[in-house]
Structure 1
């Protein structure tokens, strides 16, 4: 059997161990541009061949980027054995995260995991280890209740005004589902520390402890697959769509980036001093430079952290009812200021980036955010003054892109883009996203005709 590398027979023992535990198939999963799991599954006895790289794919188009090409070069999935996880909801399958490699013996230019690993290596060479905590929000609904106006009523509690956020009874109404999710999370390596209702009707958030950046990206990719599968067991559906309905809150996925020294001390580079003593801990100069890099490249970053046309219907100053949106629109930072793109929280040594939404590919977003922060440190970029009031009302502060088209144009114009992504990736990604914007923008709908047909 043709493989990219030599077959290591020692994996035969692992294959037998899995088979004895009831595993029948192994999936060397790779993430497409949307962060969705892609792969074939193979009989567990082929684990040695799979580890050597024999699972081949033609990923363009299917990957969500570029056009499908029936004569394109194949790429090979090389799985990471350290990520092997027997799926709790169906233990016939074991899952592994994989890198995509070309037959030239180099990472595939469109492989999100390889793109992230390159930036992690860059950080390590500069003496840093990056961690990530994510706060993914999602909506839960019964498929039969879905209609043009919303998801229908999921809970017996009903509507809570002005918002069901933090409402205990709402969470208890779906406790069976949430408990199943949390229990399954623990079995795939994610430990929850909070769960509850969010601002939209049917919207929930589960918070879990941070991990090293690559491990978190792997786990969140599996988490998204897991939540959908667990929901189906309860006759429910889940969506991470950023803005499913105009009258509902958007779903964000705040990225909490930590930075630690790799010199052996393992101490945070972002916060200095003793957090147990009031007033004895402060943000470091590196943290401010890191923020400066994020702000400098903010407009380009949104093309990756907010990758859909729909993403920009969340990044608005107000909701349709006129209330203030909690999604940031301004390129600013502040202490505990949730109206800014970046918040410096008081309770953890991490920089919270608030504009990413739940549709973002964590590998790609993590890579670009880390690169921007490192650029800030390397060039000592001053982030400017902190903003302590409502940022959206400060006209002099630059704002994030209003549309995916604006974001893509900024992405193509930023020099950092060409340090993080290959020319092939940039060309195909920009072209694909521009087509997505045109597909949304060009059609003329009934509401538009109703507004203009007779009047003009």
Structure 2
């Protein structure tokens, strides 16, 4: 059961200590469906009140958290003091992550962090501790791009052909930004271990240590804020939009999930080699995720733009590297799920950079646990290019994904009915707005030819 905090002498001492270190303000960020942090900002001497739940919100309608409801009980942003960090780009501010509690006690049905914590508790009741590592990709570009039809990268070397992926000069030319991000990540104890220029012009990826699911999701929320801040300090803009233009590679956020026992022993790998190096538990988990892949897609690919990434090829005909089929393999990067040789975790390659980490992690974990309970078998791994016909396909549009989400019985075990209703309504409306738009490319193709 979650702890309800009260004002204590310990929190008063913490506030005094932060003030002596130059901190002037504190915030307790709750997360909306879009993955953006929301919070009031309080003077640091008000920190004990903040931790006790003094700050109230009317969250519906903010960032897609359902329709506005002016007569509904307010929600309390209840901070988790263990997440407290001083923001390295503004040391006046102390950051914490919060859960939304309706009426101050009941978890708010649309609070993504609370949804994830419930599934973590389910895993723990089965004797498992779930771990997650995320590989976030994003684009950084010059502000003048907003008035044109292409993203202008910060470094000319990013425009080398056929791709700047792993290019050393591109990374070095972008160091004013990349170094700033790395410094912030180190100070925040992310466990950064690599970063690089990715396949698109102005696209980058940062990789950092895996952690228990809630901790990783908390880090991802702070990472998105950190990247945008570092870009702004360099006179640049950053975006986690999955597919900024047709010609560019999509931005993924591959999820690497594993299970451990209560003693920290990984349960997915064995002492064998090849396919036998993966445990029966790992295969059952894989089968569960594949079983619920259509519904998971509504969360892992949450925008209409997401489905412009989930295609077999780029505009120039190159293989997109994004999965489109419900399949798994070992070192096969065309599959949705990969069981890689270099880490004891199942990699979900379908998740994109717009996804809310809390929501995707909650449903992916629930799907894997369902596979374990039911003893599911994923069948044979694929060792060919998985784009070919005859393999079940992931939903092709947001509307299709939402329909699968609503119809999957597991959805109704993981999420409150209010969340299912509001999320589905929001995403179906988003698809409809996009579908109703008549684009310039359509007019060029059809106006005079039909």
Place the TM-score, normalised by the shorter chain, in its bin: over 0.9
Q: Secondary structure at the match of 2:312?
A: coil
Tell me the residue number matched to 1:7: 7
Tell me the residue number matched to 1:65: 65
Per-residue CA shift, 1:258-289, capped at 9, x if unaligned?
11011x3x211100128xxx779710000000
Structure 1 residue corresponding to 2:448, chosen from 408, 433, 454: 454
Tell me the residue number matched to 2:391: 397
Tell me the residue number matched to 1:445: 439
Contact (CA 8 Å) 2:288, 2:369: kept in 1 or not?
Answer: yes
Tell me the residue number matched to 1:341: 336
What is the distance in 1 between the residues matched to 2:103 and 2:363? Answer: 26
What is the distance in 2 between the residues matched to 1:120 and 1:207? Answer: 23
What is the distance in 2 between the residues matched to 1:245 and 1:200? Answer: 10
What is the distance in 1 between the residues matched to 2:436 and 2:274? Answer: 55
Shifted more, 155-164 versus 41-50: the winner is 155-164
Tell me the residue number matched to 1:181: 181
Tell me the residue number matched to 1:138: 138
What TM-score, normalized to structure 2? 0.97
- Structure 1 residue 212 displacement after superposition: 1.0
Q: Secondary structure at the match of 1:81?
A: strand
What is the distance in 1 between the residues matched to 2:60 and 2:235? Answer: 34
1:359 paired with 2:354, answer yes
1:372 paired with 2:370, answer no
- Structure 1 residue 158 displacement after superposition: 5.0
1:241 paired with 2:236, answer no
1:96 paired with 2:90, answer no
Q: Secondary structure at the match of 1:64?
A: coil
Structure 2 segments unaligned to the other structure (5+ residues): none
Q: Secondary structure at the match of 1:157?
A: helix
Contact (CA 8 Å) 1:146, 1:152: kept in 2 or not?
Answer: no
What is the distance in 1 between the residues matched to 2:378 and 2:440? Answer: 45
What is the distance in 1 between the residues matched to 2:12 and 2:158? Answer: 54
The within-5 A match list for 1:262-301 is: 262=262, 264=263, 266-273=264-271, 282-301=277-296
1:319 paired with 2:283, answer no
Contact (CA 8 Å) 1:135, 1:255: kept in 2 or not?
Answer: yes
What is the distance in 2 between the residues matched to 1:319 and 1:280? Answer: 32
- Structure 1 residue 177 displacement after superposition: 1.1
Contact (CA 8 Å) 1:404, 1:437: kept in 2 or not?
Answer: yes
What is the distance in 2 between the residues matched to 1:378 and 1:352? Answer: 21
Contact (CA 8 Å) 2:158, 2:164: kept in 1 or not?
Answer: no
- Structure 1 residue 445 displacement after superposition: 2.8
After the TM superposition, which segments of 4 or more aligned residues of structure 1 sit over 6 Å from their partners? 278-281
- Structure 1 residue 186 displacement after superposition: 1.2
After superposition, the CA RMSD in angstroms is: 1.5
Tell me the residue number matched to 1:414: 408
Q: Secondary structure at the match of 2:134?
A: strand
Contact (CA 8 Å) 1:273, 1:280: kept in 2 or not?
Answer: no
What is the distance in 2 between the residues matched to 1:182 and 1:270? Answer: 31
Q: 1:284–1:233: structure 2 CA closer, same or farther, 3 Å change rule?
A: same
Contact (CA 8 Å) 2:284, 2:368: kept in 1 or not?
Answer: yes
What is the distance in 1 between the residues matched to 2:143 and 2:335? Answer: 35
Alignment size in residue pairs: 447
Contact (CA 8 Å) 2:53, 2:104: kept in 1 or not?
Answer: no
Q: 1:344–1:189: structure 2 CA closer, same or farther, 3 Å change rule?
A: same
What is the distance in 1 between the residues matched to 2:323 and 2:144? Answer: 33
What TM-score, normalized to structure 1? 0.95
Q: Secondary structure at the match of 2:99?
A: strand
Structure 1 segments unaligned to the other structure (5+ residues): none
The within-5 A match list for 1:122-133 is: 122-133=122-133
- Structure 1 residue 5 displacement after superposition: 5.8
- Structure 1 residue 194 displacement after superposition: 1.1
- Structure 1 residue 147 displacement after superposition: 4.5
Contact (CA 8 Å) 2:6, 2:51: kept in 1 or not?
Answer: no
Contact (CA 8 Å) 1:189, 1:219: kept in 2 or not?
Answer: no
Q: 1:110–1:169: structure 2 CA closer, same or farther, 3 Å change rule?
A: same
